Structure 1
Amino acid sequence: MNSPSISVVIPALNEEKSLPFVLKDLHAIGELNLREIIVIDNGSKDATASVASSHGATVLYEGERGYGAACLKGLERIFQSSDPPDLIAFLDADYSDSPSELVLLLGRLFDSQADLVIGSRTLGKSEKGSLLPVQKFGNWLSTTLIRILYGIRFTDLGPFRLIRSDSLRKLNMQDRNFGWTVEMQVKAAKYGLRCAEIGVSYKKRIGSSKVSGTVLGSIRAGWKILYTIGKLQFTK
């Protein structure tokens, strides 16, 4: 059987220092049929775009700041193609995840016949200090609410994930900010997608966090995630 084609979507904001490591690691994975690596420059002030291009990535620009807005820009390119990839991976640009572990997500997708696989930092091994206490608590609270409201057990809302293209298209993703990851997981549960997780390693990011680097940023992100979980309970 031919290996399924994969496109990788990487939102990036001022990640010139970390992107070379992310992209080199992705290109070094011999087992994957990588269709395209798409880096979405979300308004960087540094050389993020040129670094991404020089390492073989397709670079798109999204002027509206927001994790979801950047991801949607990448999906716009993918779904406008006459021959979209079989699978779509999402990965942060800060090198906190290990891109080489994408093979683990792929293996889990096939072993469990899943439509969506989440790379779980909770189930994996995290470097000390890579996840702040407020992040761990927020993860626990959010995944507990998802289990209670939607009847599906997740252990993480981490950004590292792999999903079948046709399944993702059905989700009709909308969130343009911090609620992107939880929207995908809640909608996957509501629409009956087969979901699975696998433990992944996690290390301290290169550079400062755009979301959890400040108390205010953590509160804003946490509120948006909880709001999204509740809102989707009352929408079709």
Structure 2
Amino acid sequence: MLIDVIIPAFNEASAIGKVIADIPDFVRNIIVVNNNSKDDTRQVSQAAGAIVLDEPQKGYGKACLKGLSYLDNMDFPPDIVVFLDADYSDYPEEMEIILEPILQKKMDMVIGSRAKGSRENGSMTVPQIFGNWLATKLMCQLFKAEFSDLGPFRAIRWDKLKALDMEDENYGWTIEMQIKAVKNGLKYTEVPVNYRKRIGVSKVSGTVKGVFGAGYKILYTIWKYR
């Protein structure tokens, strides 16, 4: 099966090379979406062997949509798309764990759950942990969804992802995918993944504006699709 990886990246020059180096060799394309970075994210990604796309409009979802557009225009689109962060908080070498339920158990989507895995001390802030708990509890009550995390490390079948018609351009991207997966009847599961302190300062959890912006957008997305 053809497996491609999309990595949104904003000012991650110090981490992105490590992320790319740890991605397993069975991946066909590593696509880094340079999301208006002011550092050497583009140059480091290219030197590490990634395909680099430029998305000047900032936004996590916007960067992901840029990557999907690129894949959609390929002569041979992937069978599976994997998403992970560019800050080296995920363990790319655990990709086989993420993919196994799709390859062996016929799942459509797999979320890497930091809540079920092992987290390095300080790798997630208190607002992050609480926000994930609240969002997953609300999804359970409103959509009968069984999630423990909004983890960015995830895999989904290409045809199923296209059918979700993803729209969100920033913080609501991950939860939009999970809600739509439930509403569209996708077969999904979670697997435990490890999580470590990111390299550098988070653009979301590392600022008050980012914390409140992400929290608001996540709650708004839940209300929107309720």
TM-score grouping bracket, smaller chain normalisation: over 0.9
Say whether residues 1:14 and 2:11 are aligned partners: yes
User: Which runs of structure 1 show a deviation greater than 2 angstroms over 4 or more consecutive aligned residues?
Assistant: 108-112
Q: Any idea what the Cα deviations from partners look like across 1:126-180, whole Å, max 9, x if unmatched?
A: 0001011111111010001111111111000011000000000000000001000
Return the alpha-carbon distance in structure 1 between the equivalents of residues 22 and 103 of structure 2: 22
User: Paired residue for 1:185?
Assistant: 178
Q: Does 1:137 align with 2:140?
A: no
Deviation of 1:81 after TM superposition, in Å, equals: 1.4
2:69 is aligned with 1:76 = yes
Deviation at 1:109, TM superposition (A): 2.2
What is the aligned partner in structure 2 of residue 5 from structure 1? 2
> Cα deviation per residue 1:156-215 (whole Å; 9 max; x = unaligned)?
001100000000000000000100000000000000000110000000000110111012
Residues of 2 paired with 1:81 and 1:41: CA distance? 19
Q: CA RMSD in A?
A: 0.9
Give the CA deviation at 1:70. Answer: 0.3
- After TM superposition, the structure 1 stretch with the greater mean CA deviation from structure 2, 79-88 or 164-173, is 79-88
- Structure 1 residue 220 displacement after superposition: 1.0
Q: Deviation digits for residues 18-55 of structure 1, max 9, x if unmatched? A: 011101111xx24x2x1200000001111100100011
* 1:167 counterpart residue number: 160
Per-residue deviation, 1:219: 1.2
Specify the SS of the correspondent of 1:44: coil
> Aligned pair 1:46/2:39, yes or no?
yes
Matched AA of 1:8: V
The equivalences for 1:157-236 within 5 A come to 157-233=150-226
SS of the equivalent of 1:103 reads: helix
Find the partner of 2:54 among 61, 64, 67.
Answer: 61
Q: Percent identity?
A: 51
Asked whether the 8 Å contact 1:6–1:85 carries over to 2, the reply is yes
**Conserved in 2, the CA contact under 8 Å of 1:120 and 1:155?**
yes
* Structure 2: distance between partners of 1:159 and 1:174: 17
The CA distance in 1 between the partners of 2:32 and 2:189, in whole Å, is 26
- The AA in structure 1 aligned to 2:51 is T
Q: Give the secondary-structure state (helix, strand or coil) at the position aligned to 1:11.
A: strand
Give the counterpart letter for 1:6 in structure 2: I
Distance in 1 (alpha carbons) for counterparts of 2:191 and 2:18: 22
Please list every run of 5 or more consecutive structure 2 residues that lacks an aligned counterpart in the other structure. none
Q: Which of the numbers 24, 31, 48 marks the counterpart of 2:21?
A: 24
Aligned residues: 226
The residue type paired with residue 214 of structure 1 is: T
Q: CA deviation at 1:80?
A: 1.3
Letter in 1 for 2:129: K
